[in-house]
Chain A
Amino acid sequence: MHSYGLVIHAGAAAILRKDLSPELQAEHQAKLSEALDAGYAVLDSGGEAIDAVVAAIRVLEDSPLYNAGKGAVLNAGGVCELDASIMDGKAQAAGAVAGLQHIKNPITLARDVMQKSAHVMLAGEGAEKFARELGYELVPNEYFQTPLRKKQLEKAKEIEAAGGGHTAIRDAEGRISFVTIDDHADPERHKWG
C-alpha cells in the first residue's frame, strides 16, 4: 500500500499573530483541523485523492472564516463571484468554474465539469446553467455575503475614492492593479488571495 495524506491552505496574507485574537486563532485551528480530518477520512477508507480534495475544500467553503464559498469577498458590484478548479493527476483530467454567483460549493461543480462535461472550464451563467442541468440547487448570493466582507468592500471603496494612496497594490511596472483589504482595519494589511 502506498503512503497517503493531504495538505491544505486557507489563504496567505500579510497578517501577524498579534492581528488575530487568541479566540479567532483557535477557531482557525479547529476549522483547518476539521478540513484535514474530512479529507483524511476519505483517504484512510480507501477513497480517491480527488474525493479527499473535495471533502477538505467543502469544509473550508462552508466556513465564513475563509475567502471561498460562504464568507467570500465581494466584487466592486457588491456581489460574491466564485472561482474553483480541480485536477486529477492520474488522467491529467481537469475541471474549472469561474464567476459563479449561486453555487454553494464551487469545488463540487468544478469536479462535475471535469467528470460530466467535455470541457475544462465553464464560466458565469453558462456554468450555472450546467449546474441546473445536473440538478444543483442554486442559493441566493446573500448566502455567501457576511457583514465583515461588506465592511471590507466599503473600506476598499473609500480608499479607492481617495485615490488609492499607499493601500493600492501596484504591480512590478507600478500600475495599480486593485485595492483590497483584509479582515482588519489596518489598511497596510492586504489580503493576498
Chain B
Amino acid sequence: TVGCAALDKRGNLAAGTSTGGMTNKKFGRVGDSPIIGAGTYANNRTCALSATGHGEYFIRAVVGHDVSARMEYQGMPLEKAAAATLTNVSALGGKGGVIAIDHDGKVTMQFNTPGMFRGFRLSTGEKKVAMF
C-alpha cells in the first residue's frame, strides 16, 4: 500500500491511498485503502491522513476519521490523536501505520510494525526518508 497526505500554499489539505490489497485475497475482499474515513481522510479543520496495514482492523477502528475527530472535538494535537487511534487498532489486533499532516504543516508517521517505508518534505526545508 502507498499513500500521501499534503498541505498546499493556500492551506488546503488532501490525502490519497493506493493498494493491491493482500496476497491470496479471496471473495472480492476490499480493505481500508479505498474506504473514506478508514484508510484515507482529509479535513481542512484538522488533518489529512493515509493508512497502511491490516485493513480489516483499520476499517473497524475507522482510523482516518477517528484521528480527525480527536483533533476537532477534543482539541488533541495530531501526534497524540494518531497515537491514540493506533493504540485502538493495536488493541483490536491490527498491525500497520498512518502518515498525516495537519493544517499547520506538522507531520506524523506512526506504526506498530518493525518497519514502515515513509518520508516527508516540508517548506521549512526539512526532508526525511526512513524505512525502519
Q: Which residues of A line the B interface, CB within 8 A?
A: 1-17, 20, 25, 28-29, 32-33, 35-37, 39-40, 43-44, 46-50, 52-54, 56-57, 60-61, 66-69, 71-76, 80-90, 92, 94, 96-99, 106-107, 110-111, 120-121, 123, 144, 149, 152-153, 156-157, 160, 169-172, 177-181, 190-193
Task: Judge whether A73 and B22 touch: CB under 8 Å.
Answer: yes
Interface string of B81-106 (1 = CB under 8 A from A): 00000000000110111111100110
Q: Is B67 an interface residue (CB 8 A)?
A: no
Task: Judge whether B20 and A85 touch: CB under 8 Å.
Answer: no
Within 8 A of A (CB), among B15-71: 15-26, 28-31, 33-36, 39-44, 48, 50, 52-57
Task: Judge whether B25 and A4 touch: CB under 8 Å.
Answer: no
Task: Judge whether B40 and A85 touch: CB under 8 Å.
Answer: yes
* Contact partner, A89, options B21, B29, B48, Cβ 8 Å: B48
Task: Judge whether B104 and A80 touch: CB under 8 Å.
Answer: no
A97 to chain B minimum Cβ distance, whole angstroms, is 6
Q: Report B-chain residues with C-beta under 8 Å of the C-beta of A10.
A: 1-2, 117-118
* Contact partner, A92, options B43, B52, B57, Cβ 8 Å: B43
Q: Which residue from chain A places its CB closest to the CB of B104 in the assembled complex?
A: A3
Task: Judge whether A81 and B25 touch: CB under 8 Å.
Answer: yes
Query: Do A106 and B18 contact each other (CB < 8 Å), given the known contacts A6-B120, A7-B100, A192-B113?
Result: yes
Q: Report A-chain residues with C-beta under 8 Å of the C-beta of B4.
A: 6-9, 35, 39, 52-53, 56-57
Q: Report B-chain residues with C-beta under 8 Å of the C-beta of A98.
A: 30, 34
Task: Judge whether B26 and A76 touch: CB under 8 Å.
Answer: yes
A8 to B16, CA, bound (A): 10
Query: Do A53 and B14 contact each other (CB < 8 Å), given the known contacts A5-B105, A7-B107, A11-B1?
Result: yes
Q: Report A-chain residues with C-beta under 8 Å of the C-beta of B114.
A: 13-16
Q: Report B-chain residues with C-beta under 8 Å of the C-beta of A90.
A: 12-13, 44
Task: Judge whether B16 and A193 touch: CB under 8 Å.
Answer: no
B120 to chain A minimum Cβ distance, whole angstroms, is 4
Task: Judge whether B109 and A7 touch: CB under 8 Å.
Answer: yes
Q: Report A-chain residues with C-beta under 8 Å of the C-beta of B6.
A: 4-7, 39, 43, 49-50, 52-53, 56
